[in-house]
Structure 1
Amino acid sequence: MNKIALITDSASDIRKDVIDKYNVKVLPFRIIIKDKDYRDGVDITLNDVYKVLDTESPTSSLPSMKDMGVLFNQLEKEGYTHVIAVTISSKLSGLNNALRLVSEDYPTIKTEVIDSKSISCAETIIIKEAGEMINSGLEFEKIVEKLIEVRSKIKTFFIIGTLEYLKKGGRIGKVAGVIGELLNIKPIVLVDEEGEYSTYDKARGRKQSINKMLSIGKKILDDKKCDVYIGNGDAKEEAEKYLQEISNHPNINNIFFSGDISPVAGLHSGPGLLGIAFYEV
Structure 2
Amino acid sequence: MRNDVPVAPFSLTFGSTTYRMDEITREALFRELGTNPAHPTSSQPTPQDWAQAYRRAGQGGLPVLALTISGGLSGSRNAAEQARTLVPEIPLRVHDTRTLSAAQAFQVHAAVTAAGRGETLETALDWVRRTHDETELYFTIETLEYLRRGGRIGRVQATLGGLLNLKPVITVDRETGTYTNVGRARSYRGAIEAVAAQVTARYGEGTPLRLGLLYGSVREDADALLAAIGARHPVVWAGFAGVNPVLNVHTGPRAVGVAAAPGGWVWER
Normalized against structure 2, the TM-score is what? 0.85
Question: Which of 32, 45, 70 in structure 1 is aligned with 2:25?
Answer: 45
Question: Which of 110, 128, 139 in structure 1 is aligned with 2:109?
Answer: 128
Structure 1 or 2: larger strand share? 1
* 1:108 matches 2:92: no
Q: How many residues align?
A: 256
In structure 2, the residue matched to 1:67 is 49
* 1:35 matches 2:16: yes
In structure 2, the residue matched to 1:90 is 71
**Aligned 1:141-152 pairs, distance under 5 A:** 141-152=122-133
Report the Cα distance in structure 2 between the residues aligned to 1:215 and 1:133, rounded to whole angstroms. Answer: 33
In structure 2, the residue matched to 1:200 is 182
Normalized against structure 1, the TM-score is what? 0.82
* 1:161 matches 2:142: yes
Look up the equivalent residue of 1:49 and give its one-letter code: L
Question: Which of 143, 148, 166 in structure 2 is aligned with 1:185?
Answer: 166
In structure 2, the residue matched to 1:264 is 246
Cα distance, 1:68 vs. partner?
A: 2.3
In structure 2, the residue matched to 1:139 is 120
Find the residue that maps to 2:24 and give its secondary structure. coil
Cα distance, 1:98 vs. partner?
A: 0.5
Cα distance, 1:79 vs. partner?
A: 1.1
Cα distance, 1:74 vs. partner?
A: 4.0
Structure 1: runs of 5+ lacking an equivalent: 1-16
CA contact (8 A) 2:212 2:239 kept: yes
In structure 1, the residue matched to 2:225 is 242
In structure 2, the residue matched to 1:8 is none
* Cα root mean square deviation, aligned: 2.3
Ranked by relative contact order (alpha carbons within 8 Å, sequence separation 6 or more), the top structure is: 1
Report the Cα distance in structure 2 between the residues aligned to 1:229 and 1:75, rounded to whole angstroms. Answer: 25
Look up the equivalent residue of 1:186 and give its one-letter code: K
Change in Cα spacing, 1:241 to 1:32, as seen in structure 2 (3 Å) is same
Report the Cα distance in structure 1 between the residues aligned to 2:97 and 2:50, rounded to whole angstroms. Answer: 18
Change in Cα spacing, 1:248 to 1:257, as seen in structure 2 (3 Å) is farther
Identity of matched residues, %:
29
Find the residue that maps to 2:60 and give its secondary structure. coil
CA contact (8 A) 2:213 2:257 kept: yes
Find the residue that maps to 1:18 and give its secondary structure. coil
In structure 1, the residue matched to 2:262 is 280
Structure 1 or 2: larger helix share? 2
